[in-house]
């Protein structure tokens, strides 16, 4: 559960710590705004992917299903700065599929937490394997990290790419090739 009071107190201390006047007109409501913002951007902490992946539809096919270019925004747990980009998901059904919006909702469950991109990629793949029980899953994330763009090395436009393969995608290189062809790469 997100503790709004603790967040507000922490933001007031942060503002004081950087030398700001917490009673300045532009900052008076900032602790409230930040507390509401964190309730939104960390809302995935209280969600479970099973909620979204439990509604399945039975099918007679086992052909690859892909949803690509799912936009996401997350927050790096190291610097608490945003990282954002695209998620591409493919899976091989084993008699059942989920509604396409459920894949995007699953991305949101894990993206709306303090996160590492590498961990996010695996969490999405593992959730699909656990709750849908497909023959295989592949997840690829391409993201830009503000901790590399606006601080530190300051290299805007740098993309970090992570991949998680599960099931048939681990043992069948042809499926991975098809995944990249479908992505247009």
Q: How confident is the model at residue 185 (pLDDT cuts 50, 70, 90)?
A: confident
- Residue 16 falls in the annotated catalytic set: no
- Residue 76 falls in the annotated catalytic set: yes
49 in any annotated domain: no
Find out whether 8 and 31 touch, Cβ atoms under 8 Å.
yes
Provide the domain count of the chain: 2
50 in any annotated domain: no
61 pLDDT above the threshold of 90? no
* CATH code where residue 97 lies: 3.30.1130.10
Q: How far is CA 49 from CA 23, 67, 120, 142, 149, in A?
A: 41, 17, 13, 21, 31
Q: How confident is the model at residue 174 (pLDDT cuts 50, 70, 90)?
A: very high
Q: Which domain holds residue 25?
A: 4-41
Helix (H), strand (E) at residue 13: helix 4-17
* CATH code where residue 18 lies: 1.10.286.10
Find out whether 176 and 165 touch, Cβ atoms under 8 Å.
yes
State whether 59 and 33 are in the same domain: no
Which one of the listed residues 79, 133, 144, 170 is annotated catalytic? 79
């Amino acid at each position: 559960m997100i503790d709004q009071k603790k967040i507000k107190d922490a933001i007031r201390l942060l503002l004081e710590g950087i030398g700001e006047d917490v009673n300045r007109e532009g900052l008076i409501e900032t602790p409230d705004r930040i507390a509401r913002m964190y309730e939104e951007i960390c809302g995935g902490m209280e969600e479970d992917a099973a909620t979204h992946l439990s509604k399945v539809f039975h099918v007679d096919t086992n052909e690859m299903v892909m949803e690509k270019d799912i936009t996401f925004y997350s927050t790096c747990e190291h610097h608490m700065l945003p990282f954002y980009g695209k998620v591409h998901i493919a899976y091989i059904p084993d008699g059942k599929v989920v509604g396409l919006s459920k894949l995007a909702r699953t991305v949101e469950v894990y993206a709306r937490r303090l996160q590492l991109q590498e961990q996010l990629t695996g969490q999405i793949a593992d959730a699909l394997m656990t709750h849908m029980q497909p023959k295989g899953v592949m997840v690829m994330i391409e993201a830009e990290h503000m901790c590399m763009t606006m601080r530190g090395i300051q290299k805007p436009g740098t993309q970090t790419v992570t991949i998680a393969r599960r099931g048939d995608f681990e043992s069948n290189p042809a499926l991975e090739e098809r995944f990249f062809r479908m992505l247009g790469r």
